[in-house]
Structure 1
Amino acid sequence: MTMHLTRHLPAATALVALLAATPVLAHPHVFAEARLEIDTSADGRVTEFRNVWRFDEVFSSSVILDFDENANMVLEPAELAKIGDMVTQSLAEFDYYTTITVNGADREIVLPEAIKVDYQDGQLLMFFAVLPKTELQLDGRIAVGVFDPTMYAALDFINDEDMMVTGGGATQCTRQVVRPDPDEVIAQNQASLTEAFFETTTSNDLSKLLATRLELDCQ
């Protein structure tokens, strides 16, 4: 993410790093509990992918200090909207951290409106929906992952129920939440995991392999 901010550098830097192409780091620095709902229609189509991210309290506190322009320790609607606009513009480069494949082939998405931001109980929330760019039928194997390709932020789906299928077509597919084992992933890809692989920002292969995903098998 590219943001022209000079106030309260530490928090601004953290938000920039969260949403920017940064070198792959050894471990995440920002943590968020995530939820994904795949909404469907009765005629067997995916209508939208709904996301909610609740960030950790340490990161959230730094954001309120940085973006609280009137210093009243409250993120007011205009301040929240400013954050939302910045995030919306920046995450477009990363497809809003959302990866969708159908039978192994990537599918494109679009964002119909700005990402919304709120601050509740000491935590920053972001919520938004993305749509399939072209019609997406509930057919074959559909896999959906939500992850930061730079590995700076960890989006954690704590419970399997945090990745759900809703709507009229919800019963047309079987659902499985896949949580890859890091040791197995590294062992299976040892030949390609060179030092250059970890240092580059142009490859998100490892983060994609490690990401929790929801797989749908549709008939």
Structure 2
Amino acid sequence: MNNPFKWQLPALAVLAGLFLATPASAHPHVFAEARLEIDTSADGLVTELRNVWRFDEVFSSSVLLDFDENGDLQLDQAELAEISTMVTASLAEFDYYVSLSVDGKDAGISLPEDIKVDYQDGQLLMFFAVVPAKELRLSGKIAVGVFDPTMYAALDFINDEDMMVTGGSSGQCARNVVRPDPDEIIAQNQASLTEAFFETTQSGDLSKLLATRLELTC
């Protein structure tokens, strides 16, 4: 994929690397604490998948330096809007890193108009909600993961409570936060994890296997 943005400074390549399609990385370069809320209605439907990402201070500082056009060491509304526009356009290809499945089958989602961006206490925040592409009732096994398929960014759910269910039917399903063991995943899939696999840019299958996810059994 060609980069549609013309960066002026080397540090901007870090931001571009996170939000544009890039070859798979051996390890993450950007880190964020994440939170997910699956909101439900009283009649048993999934209404929204709400996400908040708080990026590490090193990455946040580099973004501040590159987008702080007036040099006041703050990100004003115009500067935040510029970041939002870039991120929204770039992450749409990846469904904003949100993976939704029902009974083991991928389910589609609809994307919001934009990803909102803020800068608080020295850290960059992004927050947005996606919705199921079609009506999704709390039935069967619903799984939601949030991960970067290029493995460039690590989105970390530090506590199980960072993946939760809210709304009118929050108690209808059994909730389980699954944190896969990398050694077990690699051992179970050793036959398919060949050298050719790691040379390809299509690393989504592996990152999906390794990603923390919230499972609802209804």
TM-score by length of 2: 0.97
Are the counterparts in 2 of residues 8 and 65 from structure 1 also a CA contact under 8 Å?
no
Matches of 2:6 and 2:58, distance apart in 1: 20
- Matched with 1:148 is 148
- Matched with 1:127 is 127
Written as runs of structure 1 = structure 2, the 5 A alignment for 1:49-198 is 49-198=49-198
- Matched with 2:8 is 7
Matches of 2:167 and 2:113, distance apart in 1: 21
Identity between Structure 1 and Structure 2 (%): 74
How far does residue 112 in structure 1 lie from its aligned partner after superposition? Answer: 2.6
- Matched with 1:28 is 28
Are the counterparts in 1 of residues 24 and 202 from structure 2 also a CA contact under 8 Å?
no
| Deviations 1:114-140, CA, capped at 9 Å, x for gaps | 100000000000000001110110000
What amino acid sits opposite 2:170 in the alignment? Answer: A
What amino acid sits opposite 2:159 in the alignment? Answer: N
What amino acid sits opposite 2:215 in the alignment? Answer: E
Please provide the CA RMSD for this pair.
1.1
What amino acid sits opposite 2:72 in the alignment? Answer: N
Matches of 1:128 and 1:175, distance apart in 2: 22
Point out where structure 2 has 5 or more consecutive residues left out of the alignment.
none
Matches of 1:28 and 1:202, distance apart in 2: 16
CA separation of 1:69 and 1:5: change in aligned 2, threshold 3 A: farther
How far does residue 3 in structure 1 lie from its aligned partner after superposition? Answer: 4.5
What amino acid sits opposite 2:105 in the alignment? Answer: A
SS in 1 for 2:214: strand
- Matched with 1:202 is 202
Matches of 1:32 and 1:104, distance apart in 2: 27
What amino acid sits opposite 1:35 in the alignment? Answer: R
How many residue pairs are counted as aligned between the two chains?
217
Matches of 1:22 and 1:199, distance apart in 2: 12
How far does residue 74 in structure 1 lie from its aligned partner after superposition? Answer: 0.8
Are the counterparts in 1 of residues 24 and 203 from structure 2 also a CA contact under 8 Å?
no
Matches of 1:108 and 1:162, distance apart in 2: 23
Runs of 4+ displaced beyond 4 Å: none
Are the counterparts in 1 of residues 150 and 202 from structure 2 also a CA contact under 8 Å?
no
Matches of 1:7 and 1:110, distance apart in 2: 33
TM-score by length of 1: 0.96
Point out where structure 1 has 5 or more consecutive residues left out of the alignment.
none
SS in 2 for 1:114: coil
